[in-house]
Every structure is written in structure tokens, then in C-alpha cells.
Amino acid sequence: MFKIGIIGCGKIAQVRHIPEYADHTQAELAGYYDLNTERAKELADRYGGTVYSSYEELLADPSIDAVSVCVANNAHAKITIEALHAGKHVLCEKPMAMDLASCEAMVAAAKETGKYLMIGHNQRLAKAHARARQLVAEGVIGDIVTFKSNFAHGGPETWSVDPGKNVWFFDKQKASLGAMADLGIHKTDLIQFLTGVRVAEVMAFLGTLDKRDASGSLIGVDDNAICIYRMENGIMGTMTASWTCYGDEDNSTILYGTKGVMKIYCDKDHSIVLEMRNGERIYYDIDQIQTNDNQTKSGVIDMFMDCLVNDRAPEISGEEALSAMKAVFAAVESAKTGKSVKVS
């Protein structure tokens, strides 16, 4: 049995981390910390465990084996690094951190301490995405030539325990980036996962086009990000992240290959559709992608617990996530300079 501490008891912790730990036979929810102490107490009353007066106090408890870091983006790196040095395994929410140096410091801390660091990139755990990767590896659609991946919904206003137009997602000091860090990092990691290669160069637009706060002013972070990615093997494609999709949520990816086209989560009735060059159509009915309004089990907690139980490094390690963050930061630089930027 592994004792788990929750640092940050907001919506992502309440909807995903905590109930999924509670559902796991090898996890014991043992500790909670939140800036809102009453919120932490309510969760402790419901699931059991101790409320701590600070995250430092929680990390100082030798009985805690691992922690989920579910705080605002600007605190990810500091708390994660301190947790690793306190001897805890860490599952940190995405995005890793607000700058490349902090991301690299997190990876270095994991290596130095020998503790596991996993980042919550759940897109690659969706069943259709996992099957799509297998089909790509088997060469079903031939060599990928281009791709298109979208993640668009109406914004994060309801994705908070304090919902409304002044959510922390819109605060540049706490979030750093908007749609790119919230949604774009997911699809960047996914494209690398599906293709098996990393982003090599980026041309990007990041802007605030429509989203406004409670005062009526445009929010301080991007509400749209449109990126052209050139991968290490030369294939190219687009990645679009948007908080201004006021219709049905779009979480689709299309891979264009030399033998056919693979459409993933594009069709409401079929999770994968293959449109082959010879005219054949093949359908895979695997699952439906989760949405903000229809949450399903993410698989992230199960993977993290599997690492702990079997003493096995996580597939979505800090080092793996770092490669996607490098592409995100390259996109930010490209948007600022108006030039394509090579990923370091």
C-alpha cells in the first residue's frame, strides 16, 4: 500500500486524481494541502487522511510515499523539486512549468534523487490513441506525410472549483500561457506519441482573439494557438489549440499517409476511421474521447500507481514531457518573433 499526498485540492484533484486514487487497491489517500483549508478538510472527511497546514509539512511527513501536484502552473516546478528532494515520487499536472530552465530542473531533480517524476499527459492514454499508434507502427496507412491535430472547446471558465470569468487560467502570473499550455501541450505530446518522432521546428501564432474576463477586458493569456510543426523525420502538420470553440468540443487528429488517411475522434460513431487509398473504409469502435462536460477515467493515476507498485519508471516521465515542453516554448518564441524556431 502506498500513501498518497494531494497538494492542491482544486477541480483537477477532485474530479480525477482523488477519486482515481480512491479506486485503486494499492493507494491510500493519506494527506491533503490546499490554500483553502476548508476545501482540504472536506476532502479528508470524505476520503480519509490528514490535512496539513502547509505543503512543506506534508512533504516532511516520512509516511507519505508519493504526491500529486495539482496547484497552479506557476508553482509546479518549486513544489515538484522540493517533493523529489523530500523523497517523494511525484505526479505533476501539465504543463510542467513556466519556463524551460524550470522544466529541466525538475528532470534533474528526479535523476538526482532517484524518484519517479510523471507528468499528466493523458491524451496518449485514450484507448483510440493507443490503438492508432499501433496501427501507425504496423504501417497500415504507410508513411505519414502530414497531420492535423485540434483541441478546441469553449474555455476553462467551468474547469475550476471557483468558476467564472476570473479563473486562475486567465491570470498570466499564475498560468503563464493560456490555450497553448492547457490544450496545446496535450496535442504536442500526442503528435510525438503517434508519429514516434519529436518536433524539430515550429512556426506559430499565439493570440488573444475573443476571451474576456469579468471586467470585459481581453484575458492576459492566449485563447488561441496555431502551430506548424516540422518533425525530426521531415513530416509536417498543424496543431491548433483554442478556447473559443463555442460549439461541440473538437479533440480530433488526422494522419495523412502514403496508403491512406487515419481519422481519430473525428466521427461521433467511430473512434478511428481509415480511408484507404484503394477506396476501402475501415472502422474501429473503441471508445469516446472524454470532454470537459463528460469526464471519464483518465488512466493517469493507474499508470502512476503501476510505476510505484512495480518499481518501474513511468512512460510519461519528466524527461519525456520535457521534449513536448521544448516545442511549446519554441512556439512561444516563434509567435513573438514571427519567425520559425528550431527546437533545442
In three state form, how does the secondary structure of the chain look? CEEEEEECCCHHHHHHHHHHHHCCCCEEEEEEECCCHHHHHHHHHHHCCEECCCHHHHHHCCCCCEEEECCCHHHHHHHHHHHHHCCCEEEECCCCCCCHHHHHHHHHHHHHHCCCEEECCCHHHCHHHHHHHHHHHCCCCCCEEEEEEEEECCCCCCCCCCCCCCCHHHCHHHHCCCHHHHHHHHHHHHHHHHHCCCEEEEEEEEECCCCECCCCCECCCCCEEEEEEEECCCCEEEEEEECCCCCCCECCEEEEECCEEEEECCCCCCCEEEEECCCCEEEECCCCCCCCCCCCCCCHHHHHHHHHHHCCCCCCEHHHHHHHHHHHHHHHHHHHHCCCEECC
Computed over every residue of the chain, the mean pLDDT equals 96
Task: Check whether 257 has a pLDDT greater than 60.
Answer: yes
- Domain residue extents for the chain: 2-121+299-313, 123-294+324-342
Alpha-carbon gap, residue 317 to 333, rounded angstroms: 25
Residue identified by cell 497538494 is 7
Superfamily holding 123-294+324-342: Dihydrodipicolinate Reductase; domain 2 (3.30.360.10)
Question: Class assignment of domain 2-121+299-313?
Answer: alpha beta
Give the confidence band of 291 by pLDDT, cuts at 50, 70, 90: low
Q: What is the pLDDT of residues 91-140, one digit of tens each?
A: 999 999 999 999 999 999 999 999 999 999 999 999 999 999 999 999 99
pLDDT tens, residue by residue, 202-248:
999 999 999 999 999 999 999 999 999 999 999 999 999 999 999 99
pLDDT at 303: 97
- When pLDDT is cut at 50, 70 and 90, the band that residue 187 belongs to is very high
pLDDT band at 298 (very low <50, low <70, confident <90, very high): confident
